[in-house]
């Protein structure tokens, strides 16, 4: 590692694709060879070529990831600033209040306009507030889903096709909705599922989840692509607080092994291997937002040549992070490197659930990745019914050593209760918690947990179940769940393009 | 009971949570210890701390309830007014016309703008007028339902999935739609079901229902949470007019016993025990309205500490009024204290209907509480079909000693005819009657009854049924009733939050 | 009959309910006793009390009906006008162009704004033009249907649930869509069904239909409640042109007998007895329009007393025109008075179709009266499938002596072809022809027939049928026809009243 | 052929129906007798009577077609221009930039406003841009479909009723979506299907497709009604590029024979005979647009007499181009004149697919002509399921000598994958490619192919299929495909005409 100081003048000379240096947290890095490897594409880096990239970097990356991906030779020396520099972005200390940037001022105004948190009556409300609080690009990243976003909406709408059959005249003076997940106690049959790039929504990123979940006895699943570092999230946890790890498997199995074993050492209680993302999905709402960003006066205009490079770059970048070659035979490898229970996240049909149960893993998450991968996938809730039916037919369910989770589309305790009635041990909730902390930070996460608890108390009483075990299949009517004829979410792009027929009319007055 | 007079000055010193006095109907009460017991929460009381609360109190409470819930020691003396007081709210006599409050003036203007009552063609029209007549908070209270209000809308939409199979060439010169309910004559197979807080809509509250129902030979079900007193509603009835009683069961069974036995003594002909409300539902339209009220310049701003207290308070308050421990074994108790026929109100699946029939009660109301309790419940109409099928399979139906009622979502005589065809003895109608008297007082209730009678005459002729008994199952096609794939009401909060995909467009002109 | 002339002064003295005279076509009538018998209610007559009612009368009545319903004593003498009268409404000759009324001027302007008739591409287009051409009250009368108008819309939407299974590689150089209806030749498998009050749409009223149908070899069904007289419509027919008669059966069977026998004598080829209207339906769009008319400055304001009278009056009036006691045993009477084939119009379930076939009538019209009677009735198309299935099971179909027709909701030749494929001999079309002549007079009726013929040529070729007989059941997929879960038309009044849930939002800027 | 030059003065004298001359590409033609033969009707020609029609002609016709349809005597001499002519439309050379027509300027402005092509994220985006780029008449021609356009929309919406059942943990490092169609290699299981009048969208017309398809290894089906000539499209192809031919069969089989044999000689690899268009469909969006054109100040106003002539003319014109007498027995003729594999395009039920397989043709296209022929037809995707089921039951599928294609409504690779899973060899895509080149010329076609390839790579990985053969029926849930109850596209004309019921309201303030 070359550690001789770099001057601003020197830095500014390396501002092209051919030689691209950037500054992060006061140190200079030569990222020329990394440009095509970057999962987010080279364009976003090139915008900071020859400049300080700390702010943009921090929004989406843990502090140490830059050094993990660069060789010592690519890690240049610290940047030296002239005494009289006026570049606020290079200054270590935050700018004084009098010099708040327009973005910071906007944020302060938005914060002041938030409704008091007890006006937030449901998880829907967090989303409504977050929609206005988030930057356009953050909103586009979080809210987007694959292709026509039909599966994302179907995830939610599927719940509305399941109706309750509540029981009466049961003494529900006390109800208890605590349970266990992979043997770990949980105050609710839910967990906070893994989602990426948490700092886009709030400067503390995923730490909001760690802290809020800890206070409420809820389990957090730590994501591979978090913008806080893994250890930060472990360190922020309370004594005895349960955390799981979501894993994207790297082509380089040694890297994966080191991540997994480090996690086990730090006390992670379950390993959720993502199996529905051999390639990261096309999310057009997000992509369109990025085009809008770059075409607004950006100098790094895409040309014919760039297009090819970009495609190659994306493919190459993905191949170096997520292994599309992951297959059933890899399970032995994972069993050999860890004693954590292993769960497959992203199962979408009963055949694979049966394979998983037979392979001896501890569970499956019936998930379509929040609708962000394969548009046209069925909701986890619908898959749950077929998986339970087929596992039962093979005497593989119920089975204390094999749990079923689902995620996607949950907004109400009643949604969770429906899933539990149909056989799920717990339900993962993702976006609603992001929207909660994007709006109100850690307090938002806590309030979200409290809303769910209040709804649980109420609705377990109303269906006549005193414990999670008393939530049984006969309490729901799921007969319409797999009827796709009507519930198909509308195709918004198709509709926007359709020029409706109009009848002829009288002519305008002469 | 301390009866020494209280001065305005003294009163105004007790205006905090720590010491809270209010005036109702000229008497002073110390409600400090009652704050957390109040079913409506402490905040609404605190708004009147140290002041006269008579007007707000009267809108939602019977006159005597304040003394029932307070110990003698908490009932302080009469308020004494200085001779020159100008506080109109404390004056016993109504203000002279020249000093009408803005609210009263607004009401007078609205009254003058109502369409003539014979422009009201259907129950829908009453609702449209009431929407404009009611105060925002009254509307929010009446119109709201649980969570996403899916069940409330499904209640109505379910009727549209049942189609008629009318018969022709039957001499329908005269049609007769009178029937009996629990052995009591009724001019129509409907009854006015119990709804709370009637004075929010009209100063005479539920008395409008008593009087209008009496004129038309329709049975009124008196609610536990009426804002008129039970005896007022009995006294307002005509000689021989049938009334039922809806009952929330108190943890203190002695209080319940005294209510039931008093009711029987006063001539009540049926006891409808609510079994779908171990806890009162979350109705967000109503809750949001309350936040709007309190956050508009209210000094009693919610703080972190308040939040917990509020939750505890609500729970405690409910536990002192409605017993979540009510269970099947309590039925013996009710049989032991009254000879009135007992009906369970709020049954939602055939299993409980069978239990009820076997337990020897006189009937069940298949009801989801107007969609105000468990969102995701099925409509009464849909449950009716399964209940009749399973009772028949067990030789429990038809049975002159066990009647089935449904309520929720009715707007037309054709709705009632559908329910009767499918096996219901009668149908409860709630909100439409509230909207009728909120718009036109007692005359509205009468006109609503007349509309139903006109529609009944017409539609019984058109289906070819001369009597209620001739309305048979073959006259309807209910095959689509339990198909939830399409009929699912839309999720409005979800939709409001969804940012629709938009295709790319040409750029604006340069 | 008193025939002494009546002066304007005398006339004007009889302008109350107690003594009500009107002038029609220059003659004076005392209609005091008739007020309560009038099917349209007394109010509309009272508006012309003591005045000339000719214009309003002519819009909805045949010329001679006034004398049929009044005793000779009620028929007073001719009106005498003062030489200098300026009352244009009493003048026999039309006003000179310079004195066109505002209504006439409006009509002329509208006529000039119509699109050229060859811009009318489908029956939908006539409706769009007619909507703008018709007076508000005429539109309300024609377009309205019962209650929530669900059946009216379902009539049309049902067609969209039937899909085609066309055949290919059939020589369709020539296609022939002529057929016979009750043994009478028809150029198309359609007929113009009976609709009332034709002059509301055009001064020539139903004569437009007679003339246009004659030119195109289409059969017209003459309505009982036409605004042209029966004989006018017979006289306007071409040599050999087929006409049917729709019959409302009068309580006074002698009156009915005389109508039927007169019709047979004048060459009517089929008698369609309406069996779905023991009482005329409530059509709120029409009723609301009438309230708008009367409450805009009308002096005949409804009072409490009036309301009762109106209800009684309507009941009495109907009982004197249409017999709600009509029943199966009356069929012998009809067979005894005529040799015309008898068809029952308004059958709505297979049970009645079987009864009809067994009773030996010549056919049935599966109809719900264009949705104007019992809202919640199924479409004729849906009923057709069940009727054909059950008749076949009883060897009653196919049967050359028993034909099945349907009506309601047709807008396209493809709709007709679907009905024919499912077993209908012909399809009645009503409103589209009204809209056609309301927009373009007789030319509109002809153009409507031509559009249907063009569509028939095209679509028979496209499904691979060269003759009506080649349109077979296998050419359609009607499996979704009876699925009401999704196709339920929305309830517009319910929707208009529903206050949609809204999520909380950021507060407005300070 | 008379080749003596014609003066402008002489030309202008032949500007009526009785004598109609036009100029195309500098030569004069007497088209008087051709007026009624013209498939597009006589009106459009009459607009150019006595004038130069080159520009309008070129948009929709290949260069040589004018001479093919006219006798030598009708082909007059070249037009001679006066030296000082300022008529730019008659000038051979393009007008200098300074004299751009308003239309040309508009087009230049639109071109400059297009988003950069890499902003086009999906085929939907091309359509959105094309909607704004195309002239109104070109858009109306391309976008229109038959009658109420229900089938056109159903074609697309049917895909949304099929859901995926993806498999996990399969090594998808490399995926290969190449296949063969009629034995010819194709880089994707799609082909560009035949569509008419390509120059309406872009001056190079169908050549954009030839060139773009060639670059991407995609097969183009050349249409009979192209606006480029057949040989131009052959000549524009790359060495070894596969092209198919779509054929409308002429009544004059010799003409058809010469077209087919010329095609085979030029290397066409498959003959797709259109069997769903014995008559070209009524497309009202297109027709309405034409009326708008002609009624805007056109002198050739339609009169009563014209109407009949127009109908006759259309019928005659069609009979001279497309033979409605084409039938199964003609297949022997086609087999006798060519060795190209023969495919029937437009099969819509299993019965005809079985007949086709038994007749020994090489395949069928399950197609409804993009919804442009028989409205109410089912989608190709839905027909596919029934065809595969019935062919299998008869041991006719799978069969290497009989392939099944479908077309209509495709917008995504996932759509294609669904069709392939259900048994299709390939899917034809039409309008999206038109919209692609109308927006961006050949580059648009290439980008459309690239989008499909990117989507294919992604989505095959996500369902777990490495090759086309691995896309199996178990990977989709098509159980809702034939449920028409909910998916019925709305009837826009019906809706536009429906006057929604409105409840009564308070009257306006006084």
Q: What does the mean pLDDT of chain C come to?
A: 86
The reply to whether residue A124 touches residue C508, judged by beta carbons under 8 angstroms, is no
- Spatial separation of the C-alpha atoms in residues C442 and A17, rounded to whole Å: 77
Q: Which of A48, A139, A248, A437 is catalytic?
A: A248
Is B84 exposed, middle or buried (CB count within 10 Å of its CB: 0-12, 13-18, 19+)? exposed
Q: CATH topology for B124-294+322-483?
A: TIM Barrel (3.20.20)
Query: For residues D75 and C483, which has the higher predicted lDDT (pLDDT)?
Result: D75
**pLDDT tens digits along C122-150:** 999 999 899 888 988 899 899 999 998 88
Q: Beta strands D342-347 and D271-274: pairing type?
A: parallel
Highest mean pLDDT among A91-105, A452-466, B11-25, B118-132: A452-466
| H-assigned helices in B36-122 | 42-46, 54-60, 65-69, 102-113
The pLDDT value given to residue D505: 63
The reply to whether residue C461 touches residue D279, judged by beta carbons under 8 angstroms, is yes
The pLDDT value given to residue C485: 57
Is B296 exposed, middle or buried (CB count within 10 Å of its CB: 0-12, 13-18, 19+)? exposed
Helix count (H) and strand count (E) of chain A? 20, 17
Q: How far is B134 from chain D (nearest CA, A)?
A: 12
Q: What does the mean pLDDT of chain B come to?
A: 86
Is D99 exposed, middle or buried (CB count within 10 Å of its CB: 0-12, 13-18, 19+)? exposed
User: Are A373 and A146 spatial neighbours (Cβ–Cβ below 8 Å)?
Assistant: yes
Q: Where are the beta strands (DSSP E) in C351-472?
A: 363-366, 403-407, 426-429
Give the residue range(s) of CATH 3.20.20.70 domains in chain A.
124-295+320-485
Among B28-42, B390-404, C237-251, the minimum mean pLDDT is found in B28-42
* Residue B1's pLDDT band (cuts 50, 70, 90): very low
Among A123-137, B142-156, C320-334, D300-314, the minimum mean pLDDT is found in D300-314
Query: Can A276 be counted among the known catalytic residues?
Result: yes
Per-residue pLDDT of chain D (510 residues; tens, 9 = 90+): 456 888 888 888 898 888 999 888 888 999 888 887 776 677 778 888 888 888 778 777 777 777 777 888 888 888 886 554 444 344 344 434 456 777 778 888 888 889 999 999 999 999 989 988 898 889 989 999 999 888 998 898 889 889 999 999 999 999 999 999 999 999 999 999 999 889 999 999 999 999 999 999 999 999 998 999 999 999 999 999 999 999 999 999 999 999 999 999 999 999 999 999 998 888 888 888 776 654 433 323 322 333 333 333 333 344 457 899 999 999 999 999 999 999 999 999 999 999 999 999 999 999 999 999 999 999 999 999 999 999 999 999 999 999 999 999 999 999 999 999 999 999 999 999 999 999 999 999 999 999 999 999 999 999 999 999 999 999 999 988 887 655 455 666 666 667 666 666 666 654
Rg (CA), chain D: 25
Highest mean pLDDT among B453-462, C83-92, C497-506, D86-95: B453-462
As a whole number of angstroms, the longest Cα–Cα distance in chain D is: 86
Give the residue range(s) of CATH 3.10.120.10 domains in chain D.
6-81
- HSE at residue C334, side-chain half, CA atoms within 13 A, is 27
The pLDDT value given to residue A12: 87
Q: What does the mean pLDDT of chain A come to?
A: 86
User: Which one of 3.40.50.720, 3.20.20.70, 3.40.50.300, 3.40.50.2300 gives the CATH number of domain D124-295+315-483?
Assistant: 3.20.20.70
- Spatial separation of the C-alpha atoms in residues B263 and B246, rounded to whole Å: 10
The pLDDT value given to residue D76: 87
Dihedral pair phi/psi, residue C219, rounded to 5°: -90, 135
Q: How far is C160 from chain D (nearest CA, A)?
A: 7
User: Which one of 3.20.20.70, 3.10.20.90, 3.40.30.10, 3.40.50.300 gives the CATH number of domain C124-296+318-483?
Assistant: 3.20.20.70
* Residue B310's pLDDT band (cuts 50, 70, 90): very low
Query: For residues B111 and B1, which has the higher predicted lDDT (pLDDT)?
Result: B111
Whose tokens are 């119009």? That residue is C345
Architecture of domain A6-80: Roll (3.10)
**pLDDT tens digits along A11-64:** 888 988 889 998 888 889 998 888 877 766 777 788 888 888 887 787 777 777
- Count of pairs with CB atoms under 8 A, one residue in C, one in D: 164
- Spatial separation of the C-alpha atoms in residues B328 and B166, rounded to whole Å: 41
The pLDDT value given to residue B496: 67
In this structure, what DSSP letter does residue D440 have?
H
| H-assigned helices in A266-330 | 284-295, 304-321
pLDDT at A300 over 60: no
Nearest to B124 among C295, C325, C493 (CB): C493
* Residue A311's pLDDT band (cuts 50, 70, 90): very low
User: Are B481 and B385 spatial neighbours (Cβ–Cβ below 8 Å)?
Assistant: yes
Query: For residues D508 and B91, which has the higher predicted lDDT (pLDDT)?
Result: D508
Give the residue range(s) of CATH 3.20.20.70 domains in chain D.
124-295+315-483
Q: Which residues contact B299 (CB under 8 A, 6 or more apart)?
A: none
Rg (CA), chain C: 25
In this structure, what DSSP letter does residue D469 have?
G
Whose tokens are 């289906």? That residue is B463
Chain C neighbours (≥3 Cβ pairs under 8 A) are A, B, D
Q: What is the arithmetic mean of pLDDT over C179-199?
A: 96
Pull the structure tokens for residue B411: 């707007």
Dihedral pair phi/psi, residue C41, rounded to 5°: 90, 160
* Residue A505's pLDDT band (cuts 50, 70, 90): low
Pull the structure tokens for residue B25: 């109907």
pTM of this prediction? 0.86
Q: How would you classify residue A371: left for phi > 0, otherwise alpha for psi between -120 and 50, otherwise beta?
A: left
- Spatial separation of the C-alpha atoms in residues A133 and A138, rounded to whole Å: 10
Which one, of A140, A134, A138, A93, lies nearest residue A111 by Cα? A134
The pLDDT value given to residue B25: 80
Number of other CB atoms surrounding residue A430 within 10 Å: 22
Own/partner contacts of C393-397, CB < 8 Å, gap of 24 or more, are C394/C354, C394/C357, C396/C354, C396/C357, C396/C358, C397/C357, C397/C423
Q: What is the arithmetic mean of pLDDT over B343-369?
A: 98
- Spatial separation of the C-alpha atoms in residues D263 and D243, rounded to whole Å: 10
User: Are B149 and B474 spatial neighbours (Cβ–Cβ below 8 Å)?
Assistant: no
Q: How far is D192 from chain A (nearest CA, A)?
A: 20
Q: Which helix (H) or strand (E) holds A419?
A: helix A413-421
Number of other CB atoms surrounding residue B307 within 10 Å: 15
User: Are C151 and C374 spatial neighbours (Cβ–Cβ below 8 Å)?
Assistant: yes
- Spatial separation of the C-alpha atoms in residues D411 and B179, rounded to whole Å: 60
Residue D448's SS3 state is helix
Interface with chain D: mutation pick from A329, A376, A491, highest number of D CBs within 10 Å: A376
| Chain length of chain B | 510
The reply to whether residue C414 touches residue D499, judged by beta carbons under 8 angstroms, is no
- Spatial separation of the C-alpha atoms in residues A201 and A437, rounded to whole Å: 7
Distance of alpha carbon A328 from the chain centroid: 25
Residue B493's SS3 state is helix
Q: Which residues in chain B touch residue A160, judged by CB atoms under 8 angstroms apart?
A: 150, 376, 488-489, 491
- What is the ipTM for the molecules in this complex? 0.84
User: Are C433 and C445 spatial neighbours (Cβ–Cβ below 8 Å)?
Assistant: yes
**pLDDT tens digits along C260-290:** 999 999 999 999 999 999 988 888 888 887 7
Nearest to B494 among A156, A284, A459 (CB): A156
Pull the structure tokens for residue C416: 């007709």
**pLDDT tens digits along C350-395:** 999 999 999 999 999 999 999 999 999 999 999 999 999 999 999 9
Chain C's closest residue to A510, CA to CA, is: C113
Pull the structure tokens for residue B283: 């109705």
Q: What is the arithmetic mean of pLDDT over B76-92?
A: 56
Distance of alpha carbon C251 from the chain centroid: 22
Pull the structure tokens for residue A276: 């529905």
Is C359 exposed, middle or buried (CB count within 10 Å of its CB: 0-12, 13-18, 19+)? middle
Q: Which residues in chain A touch residue B386, judged by CB atoms under 8 angstroms apart?
A: none
In this structure, what DSSP letter does residue C340 have?
S
Among A118-127, B70-79, B82-91, B186-195, the minimum mean pLDDT is found in B82-91
- Spatial separation of the C-alpha atoms in residues B210 and D93, rounded to whole Å: 92
Distance of alpha carbon A238 from the chain centroid: 22
For chain B, first and last CA: distance in Å? Answer: 83
Architecture of domain B6-81: Roll (3.10)
Residue C430's SS3 state is coil
Q: Which residues contact A440 (CB under 8 A, 6 or more apart)?
A: A114, A117, A120, A126, A129, A447
- Spatial separation of the C-alpha atoms in residues C103 and C285, rounded to whole Å: 22
Beta bridge partners of B82: none
Is D62 exposed, middle or buried (CB count within 10 Å of its CB: 0-12, 13-18, 19+)? buried
Q: Beta strands C190-192 and C219-222: pairing type?
A: parallel
Class of domain A124-295+320-485: alpha beta
Give the residue range(s) of CATH 3.20.20.70 domains in chain B.
124-294+322-483
- Spatial separation of the C-alpha atoms in residues B433 and B445, rounded to whole Å: 6
pLDDT at C33 over 60: yes
Residue D328, preceding bond cis, omega within 30 degrees? no
Could you write out the three-class secondary structure of B187-214? CCCEEECCCCCHHHCCCCCCHHHHHHHH
Q: Which residues in chain D touch residue B115, judged by CB atoms under 8 angstroms apart?
A: 504-507
Chain C's closest residue to B460, CA to CA, is: C374
Give the residue range(s) of CATH 3.20.20.70 domains in chain C.
124-296+318-483
């Amino acid at each position: 590692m070359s550690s001789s100081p770099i001057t601003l003048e020197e830095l500014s000379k390396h501002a092209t694709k051919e030689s691209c240096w950037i500054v992060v947290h006061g140190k200079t890095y030569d990222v020329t060879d990394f440009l095509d490897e970057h999962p987010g594409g080279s364009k976003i880096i090139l915008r900071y070529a020859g400049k300080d990239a700390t702010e943009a970097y921090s929004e989406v990356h843990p502090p140490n990831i830059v050094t993990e991906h660069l060789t010592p030779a690519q890690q240049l020396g610290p940047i030296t600033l002239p005494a009289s520099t006026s570049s606020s972005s290079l200054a270590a200390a935050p700018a004084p209040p009098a010099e708040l940037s327009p973005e910071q001022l906007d944020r302060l105004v938005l914060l002041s306009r938030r409704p008091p948190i007890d006006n937030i009556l449901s998880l829907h409300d967090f989303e409504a507030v977050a929609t206005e609080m988030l930057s356009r690009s953050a909103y586009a990243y979080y809210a987007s889903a694959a292709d026509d976003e039909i599966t994302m909406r179907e995830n939610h709408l599927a719940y509305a096709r399941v109706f309750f059959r509540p029981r009466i005249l049961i003494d529900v003076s006390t109800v208890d909705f605590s349970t266990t997940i992979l043997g770990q106690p949980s105050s609710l049959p839910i967990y906070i599922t893994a989602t990426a790039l948490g700092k886009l929504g709030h400067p503390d990123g995923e730490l909001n989840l760690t802290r809020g979940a800890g206070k409420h006895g809820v389990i957090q699943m730590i994501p591979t692509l978090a913008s806080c570092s893994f250890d930060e999230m472990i360190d922020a946890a309370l004594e005895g607080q349960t955390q799981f790890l979501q894993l994207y498997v790297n082509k380089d199995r040694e890297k994966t092994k080191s991540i997994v074993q480090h996690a086990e050492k730090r006390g992670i209680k379950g390993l959720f291997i993502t199996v529905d993302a051999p390639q990261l999905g096309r999310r057009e709402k997000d992509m369109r937002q990025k085009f809008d960003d770059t075409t607004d006066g950006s100098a790094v205009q895409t040309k014919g040549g760039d297009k090819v490079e970009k495609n190659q770059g994306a493919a190459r970048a993905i191949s170096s992070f997520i292994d599309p070659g992951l297959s059933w035979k890899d399970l032995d490898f994972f069993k050999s490197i860890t004693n954590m229970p292993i769960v497959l996240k992203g199962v979408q049909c009963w055949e694979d659930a049966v394979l998983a149960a037979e392979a001896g893993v501890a569970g499956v998450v019936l998930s379509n990745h929040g609708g962000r991968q394969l548009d046209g996938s069925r909701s986890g809730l619908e898959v749950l019914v077929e998986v339970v039916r087929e596992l039962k037919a093979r005497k593989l369910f119920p089975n204390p050593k094999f749990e079923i989770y689902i995620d996607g589309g949950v907004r109400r305790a009643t949604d969770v209760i429906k899933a539990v009635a149909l056989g799920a041990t717990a339900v993962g909730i993702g976006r609603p918690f992001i929207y909660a902390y994007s709006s109100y930070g850690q307090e938002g996460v806590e309030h979200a947990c409290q809303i769910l608890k209040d709804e649980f108390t109420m609705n377990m009483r109303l269906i006549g179940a005193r414990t999670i075990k008393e939530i049984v299949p006969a309490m729901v009517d799921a007969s319409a769940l797999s009827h796709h004829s009507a519930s198909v979410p509308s195709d918004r792009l198709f509709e926007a393009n359709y020029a409706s027929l109009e009848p002829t009319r009288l002519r305008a007055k002469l």
